[in-house]
Every structure is written in C-alpha cells, then in structure tokens.
Amino acid sequence: MEKVTRTKDAHATRGRRSVVAFGVAALLVAAGCSSQSSSTSTTAAVTTTTSATTVRIGLEGPLTGSQSSVGIGMLDAARLAATNLNASGGILGKKVVIVPIDDKADPATGVAAATRAIASGLNGVVGPYNSGVGIKTLPLYLKAGLVPIRLTSANSTEGLGVTLQPMTSQIAPVATAAITDWKKAGSVALIYDKTQTYTVDANSAMTSSLKAAGVTITSDTAIVPGKKSYASTIATVDATHPQLTYIITYYPEAGLIAKAMFEAKSPTQCLADFGAYDNEFIPTAGIAAAKNCPVVGVPAPNDFANSASIVDLYTTTFHTAPGTWSPYAYDSVQILANAATSAGGFSSAKLKAALNAQSDWMGWTGSVSFPAATGDRVPPSVAVVVSNDAGEFHEDRSWAAATNASF
C-alpha cells in the first residue's frame, strides 16, 4: 500500500445493504496492505510510469481544503481496491496504480490538476465528487479517450461517464417523501448554497418536487458559504413560519446551519440534503444538533449488508473508519476493473459498452446496473441517516418505516 499523509481524521460511521463476499479477497488485501500505513491523501506529483506494466487510474476529489474529509476517504478506498486487485493479478496482468488528483472542490484547480494527470498518462479515472468541478473536468477526460466513473450527482453531469452515486432526479423524490410522509410537513423553507452547481440543481429539483406534492415553500434563501455563524439566516427563515427547514448545502455549511437552528431553539424541523452527508457534518454541528437534523444521503459504510469484513479491513489499514463515500470509490475502481477485463482493455467504446452491459454487479454498495441511456446507477442507493449518541451516522429506522424505504 502506498504511504499517504492524512490531513484530517474521518469519524466513525455505520452503514447497510448488500455487498459481495470479501472472505478470500480480504485476506489478499491484508497481505498486500501494511496495517502500519499512515493514511491520508496528498497532492503528490504524478509521474509517468511504463504503461506496458501498469494500469494508472486517477482518483479526482477534494484531497485538501474544506471538503478534504470526502476526498481522503475516496482516495484511501481506491488504494484499498487497487491493492485487492493487485493481490489477484491486477487488471489484465498489469499492476494497478492509483493517481491522486486534488481538485480542492474548485473548478479551476480541478482543470489544472486533471490536465496534468492526463498528460502524465491515465487508463481510467474515478471522480470527481463535486458536480461544479465535474462540469469542467469530465469533458477533459472524455476528450482524452477515458470513460469516467464519476461521483457527481447534479443532473447537468448526466452522460459524462457513468456513476454509482444517486442523481438529483433520484434524490428529490426520496427527500420529498421524507418531508411529507415522515416529517408530515406541509410547509418548507429552503436554504441553499448559490455558488455550487449541485446545490443550485438540487434546489431547483426540490422546489419542483415539493410544489408537485402540494407543499408550500415559505422561503427560498440563497447563501454564500464562509460564514462562522448562520444565526441571522435562521432568524429570517423562522420568521416565515415553515414546519420544516431543508438545508441544501455541502457539509461544512449544513453543519453550521443545523447548529444555528439548534442553538436558536428553532421551532421548525430540520432536514439536510445529500451534499451535507459526510462524517464531518456531525462534529461541525455538534452531536446534539446533528441528532436533531437527519441527512438525506446514502447508507453509511457498514449499513450495507455483509460489509463488516471490508469495514474492519479498511479500519485496520488506515487506522480510521471508512469515509462516507469510501464504499463508492472502492466499488468504482472494482467495477472499472471488471469492465476493462471484459472489454480486453481501456478502449473508450469497448469500455463504455462493457460498463453498460453490467447487470446487477454486486459490490460493497450493493447491486449496480448502468442503463446505456443515462449511465446513472440503478437502483439508486438513497437513504436518510442520522447521528447517534456516539457521533456515528446510521440509517434512520423511523424514516424507513414511515416511507417503506428499500434501504
């Protein structure tokens, strides 16, 4: 396992759903990965290696900056998947090397990093996570003849490769059902980050979905991230008397908004959108506030069925629990390897056809299929999660019962 330097420790999480049996594979990974490896991600310079003996897979994400918790979990999981593959002969007999691509959740930084990585030589790419970055970097990978396994969710990135992540169009109906069938709210205030592609798309999708469900939107408040407190925002929103406030921001701001609602003793219910789902949401909000504000996300890493062995292996290898998006990065590398093996290489047309031919492929995150028309995973793995007293995410069982959810 490559040595990496961690910039921020991830917090423990819990998770559910079906995962491929890891028995022998886990032992192979353990043999190939030292439990002494220091883990976190770096922006290490990419160096060209001999393509005749290696397969170079880029992992793009926010490896540093305010969203580094996401990127670190993605990179570590991709490296764990590579070690697993290499213990079994790699891809088509070649060693898998993961190339870190740090976009810092910033489009301009992402373009520069992606351009360097492409020039150095890539066979495949997983990521990015941020949709606003993906709008800029995904076309670069496609132009270079790569088929990205993206982790973006904004509908505007649809068709730019394939994704294991739920899309905005798949998330909004689940969030709306949670608001109406579970929280029994007939009026909602929206707070959204107007600077990010995903959050703007999500706000639009939720506005349409809530109106179609007969829900009154009392206010639609745009914010710019960076404040230390959102107390004044909450006071303004509460003055419109919603029954629930839905927070459509990434986790740093969502945590602070949930904290402000809790400290102000807001009379409204709190629910946070998909972008807020990360381990760091909990310490940012504080456990009490996080428990008061469930998050529409995906099952936590060991909420997936039969995931105990891979979660334990990840924890032993990196001395921390998996990040919230670690299972998705891990499965993305694995499914890319499976498709490349079926295609006999990384030719764009053959690889895309092989990915679209995947039917009920089973991994850490459960069953995966990619419809050719969209490249969007079915079934989407959307769930509502909440913090427990230990500061760990888990699926909210009362939500699952109220909505007859499949996760």
Residue spans per domain, the chain = 23-166+301-376, 168-297+384-403
User: CB atoms < 10 A from the CB of 226, how many?
Assistant: 9
The whole-number pLDDT of residue 52 equals 85
Residue 90, classified by CB atoms within 10 Å of its CB into exposed (0-12), middle (13-18) or buried (19+), is middle
Q: How far apart, in whole angstroms, are the C-alpha atoms of residue 272 and residue 290?
A: 10
The whole-number pLDDT of residue 404 equals 86
Residue 156 DSSP symbol = G
Task: Report the C-alpha dihedral over residues 159, 165, 170, 171, rounded to 10 degrees.
Answer: -130
Query: How far out from the chain centre does Cα 22 lie?
Result: 22
The whole-number pLDDT of residue 51 equals 65
Phi, psi dihedrals of residue 310, rounded to the nearest 5°: -75, -35
The whole-number pLDDT of residue 240 equals 98
The whole-number pLDDT of residue 7 equals 35
Q: Which residues contact 401 (CB under 8 A, 6 or more apart)?
A: none
Q: How far apart, in whole angstroms, are the C-alpha atoms of residue 357 and residue 363?
A: 16
The whole-number pLDDT of residue 173 equals 96
The whole-number pLDDT of residue 254 equals 98
CATH for 23-166+301-376 is 3.40.50.2300
The whole-number pLDDT of residue 345 equals 97
Q: How far apart, in whole angstroms, are the C-alpha atoms of residue 301 and residue 319?
A: 15
Contact assessment for residue 92 and residue 345, using Cβ atoms and an 8 Å cutoff:
yes
Q: Output the CA–CA distances (angstroms, integers) from residue 73 to 76, 269, 277, 301, in the order listed.
A: 5, 30, 13, 11
The whole-number pLDDT of residue 407 equals 62
For every one of its 407 residues, what pLDDT tens digit does the chain have, with 9 covering 90 and above?
A: 333 333 333 333 333 333 333 433 443 444 344 333 334 433 333 333 446 899 999 999 999 999 999 999 999 999 999 999 999 999 999 999 999 999 999 999 999 999 999 999 999 999 999 999 999 999 999 999 999 999 999 999 999 999 999 999 999 999 999 999 999 999 999 999 999 999 999 999 999 999 999 999 999 999 999 999 999 999 999 999 999 999 999 999 999 999 999 999 999 999 999 999 999 999 999 999 999 999 999 999 999 999 999 999 999 999 999 999 999 999 999 999 999 999 999 999 999 999 999 889 999 999 999 998 899 999 999 999 999 999 999 999 999 999 888 66
Cis (ω within 30 of 0) for the bond into 267? Answer: no
Q: How far apart, in whole angstroms, are the C-alpha atoms of residue 244 and residue 288?
A: 18
State the helix-helix crossing angle for 308-318 and 68-87, rounded to 10 degrees: 110
Rg (CA), the chain: 20
Domain 168-297+384-403 has CATH 3.40.50.450: no
> Phi/psi zone of residue 236: left (φ > 0), alpha (ψ -120 to 50 degrees), beta?
alpha
Partner residues linked to 223 by β-bridges: 193
Alpha helices (H) in 308-396, listed in sequence order? 308-318, 326-343, 348-356
The whole-number pLDDT of residue 393 equals 95
Whether 23-166+301-376 shares its CATH topology with 168-297+384-403 is answered: yes
pTM: 0.86
Residue 267, classified by CB atoms within 10 Å of its CB into exposed (0-12), middle (13-18) or buried (19+), is exposed
The whole-number pLDDT of residue 18 equals 35
